[in-house]
Structures are given as structure tokens and as C-alpha cells.
């Protein structure tokens, strides 16, 4: 009797040929090894890289973020990426920094971390014909400041085209989600997409947002008996000042900002929506917009 075991996945990325790494089999590697492979490639003087998954699955273990040098370009296409083991759903998976470009095309990503985190000045993210599932965020930015200046995401440019976005929660699929969020100056274009969330599906707290030909839906929220949302954040009612992250009222789409003077997120918001269905259950709002009283507020109309 001869028993033949299944072949083990590769543990390294293939060598690049003319700027393209093409997978010919599934690959399982740690986040630190993936990060190191990118650093080695870009440190050699290369500015652009395409990872063609070849309809295979790239599994990233360890729950660490994937970053690459400023002012470089990374394209991931044609396959699947899996990354579990993040300590919480707000921890970032793929993190393009200052001047970086990230393109995902024909890719399915499943992670319990924040899938894509534009984390620099003039970062550009484009998602085409893909299916992205994250923890709290599938696409999210960060409005942290130091001495009054943004230190994480700013002037970002995000395009989501012909794709589907969903999120599972802060931990243990608890439904504490804010699937797509822009909370800093920048642009967010959503065209022909399906976006679902349990706490918010789309949150525009800053920047210019254009949504066309899409479906945005709030799924049934999850609360525990203590009045908190899942295991992480407190529920914010419509008459409360908003907190950080997604600690704002529930709605399929939330627009604007409501904080005390001199707090973060003091950015103008402009949203244009056309030929788009936005829905929630009977107990929650499809769209919740808050007009700030300062000159940087939004026009609810």
C-alpha cells in the first residue's frame, strides 16, 4: 500500500521576472517573511511590483502588518489572500505608506484584521473586480494627530470599482464593523460596488466621497445586555457626542462629524450619491448625516 500525502504549500514568494512574481502553487508564509521579501525587492532599486497569484492562495500568518517603502507601487492580482490571527479587527493587514500605490484586481481577501489601511501622505488605493472582507474595516483610514497635524492618513485617494466589501467585527465575528471609512482629507470613489456592515457600512467623516451605481446595506446589528456593541465599543445614540473610530450612531451610511471643539476630525465633508441603494432595517437609519456648526461642517442637504 502506497500512501501519497498532499504536497505542502511553498513558504516563499517566487523570484520576480521583469517586475512580476507569479505564483504557481499555494504559498503560506509569515507576515514578517512577506514583509522582508517586499523590502528586499524594493531595496534593490525596484519601484514597482506585481504579485500575480495565478489563481492560487497566499496565506499570511502571524497577524502582522504588510508594509512597503514610500513612493513605490504594489499590484496584487488574480487569486486569493488569507490572513488571520490579528489580535483585534482594527489591526492593519496591508499598509501602503507615503506616496505608495496599491492596486488589487481580481482578488479575494479574507482577514480578521483591517484589510487595507492607507497610512501616508498621498497614498493611492485602487480595488477592481475584487471581494474584500476585513475585521472592523475592509478599507479604513486613521485621523491620529500630533501637535495638531495628521500623522497617519492624509490626502489619500481611494477608488473602489466593481467590487464587494464586508466586515466581520472587532473580535470573534461580533459584528462591530465599519466596512469602508474615510475620516481624513482625501477622496473616496465608489462605483458599482456592494458594501455591507453591521454598525456602519460606509462612514464619511472627512474628505470628498462620490458613490455611483452601488448598493450599501446595514445588516442586523449585534448588542450585548450591557448596552455595548459586541465586546469593544459603546453604542452611541443619535443625541450623543461621537467618539473615535466607529463609535458613532448606527446607519448604513454616516456622514459628517459630531465632536467637541478642538477634537479630531475637523475636516469638511462633501458627499455625492447617484443611482445607489442605501438600506437598513426598520430600527436604524439608512443615512445619518450630522451638520457641524463650524465652517468646516457639511451641508446636510
Over its length of 301 residues, how does the chain's per-residue pLDDT go in tens digits?
A: 444 444 568 889 999 999 999 999 999 999 999 999 999 999 999 999 999 999 999 999 999 999 999 999 999 999 999 999 999 999 999 999 889 999 999 999 999 999 999 987 878 999 999 999 999 999 998 766 555 556 566 788 999 999 999 999 888 888 889 999 998 889 999 999 999 999 899 999 888 999 999 999 999 876 654 455 544 556 677 777 777 777 788 899 999 888 766 666 777 889 999 999 999 988 888 999 887 554 444 333 3
pTM (two decimals):
0.89
Are 77 and 53 spatial neighbours (Cβ–Cβ below 8 Å)?
Answer: yes
Are 167 and 174 spatial neighbours (Cβ–Cβ below 8 Å)?
Answer: no
How far from 255 is each of 37, 229, 258, 286, CA to CA, in Å?
A: 39, 20, 10, 11
Spatial distance between the Cα atoms of 38 and 24, rounded to a whole number of angstroms: 18
What phi and psi, each to the nearest 5 degrees, are found at residue 6? -70, 145
- The position carrying cell 458613490 is 211
Amino acid at each position: 500500500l502506497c500512501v501519497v500525502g498532499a504536497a505542502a504549500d511553498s513558504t516563499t514568494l517566487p523570484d520576480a521576472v521583469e517586475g512580476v512574481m507569479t505564483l504557481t502553487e499555494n504559498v503560506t508564509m509569515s507576515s514578517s517573511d512577506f514583509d522582508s521579501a517586499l523590502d528586499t525587492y524594493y531595496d534593490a532599486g525596484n519601484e514597482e511590483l506585481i504579485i500575480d497569484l495565478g489563481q492560487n492562495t497566499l496565506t499570511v500568518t502571524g497577524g502582522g502588518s504588510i508594509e512597503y517603502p514610500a513612493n513605490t507601487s504594489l499590484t496584487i492580482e488574480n487569486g486569493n489572500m488569507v490572513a488571520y490571527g490579528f489580535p483585534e479587527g482594527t489591526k492593519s493587514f496591508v499598509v501602503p505608506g507615503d506616496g505608495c500605490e496599491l492596486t488589487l484586481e481580481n482578488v479575494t481577501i479574507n482577514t480578521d484584521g483591517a484589510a487595507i489601511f492607507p497610512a501616508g501622505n498621498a497614498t493611492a488605493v485602487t480595488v477592481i473586480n475584487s471581494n474584500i472582507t476585513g475585521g472592523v474595516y475592509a478599507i479604513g483610514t486613521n485621523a491620529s494627530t500630533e501637535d495638531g497635524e495628521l500623522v497617519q492618513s492624509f490626502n489619500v485617494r481611494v477608488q473602489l470599482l466593481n467590487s464587494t466589501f464586508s466586515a466581520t467585527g472587532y473580535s470573534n465575528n461580533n459584528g462591530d464593523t465599519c466596512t469602508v471609512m474615510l475620516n481624513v482629507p482625501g477622496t473616496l470613489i465608489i462605483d458599482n460596488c456592494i458594501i455591507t456592515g453591521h454598525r456602519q457600512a460606509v462612514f464619511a467623516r472627512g474628505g470628498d466621497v462620490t458613490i455611483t451605481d452601488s448598493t450599501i446595506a446595514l445588516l442586523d446589528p449585534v448588542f450585548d445586555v450591557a448596552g455595548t456593541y459586541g465586546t469593544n465599543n459603546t453604542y452611541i445614540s443619535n443625541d450623543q457626542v461621537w467618539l473615535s473610530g466607529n463609535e458613532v450612531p448606527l446607519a448604513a451610511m454616516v456622514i459628517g462629524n459630531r465632536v467637541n471643539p478642538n477634537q479630531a476630525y475637523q475636516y469638511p465633508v462633501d458627499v455625492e450619491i447617484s443611482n445607489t441603494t442605501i438600506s437598513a432595517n426598520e430600527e436604524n437609519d439608512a443615512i445619518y448625516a450630522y451638520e457641524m456648526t463650524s465652517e468646516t461642517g457639511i451641508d446636510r442637504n
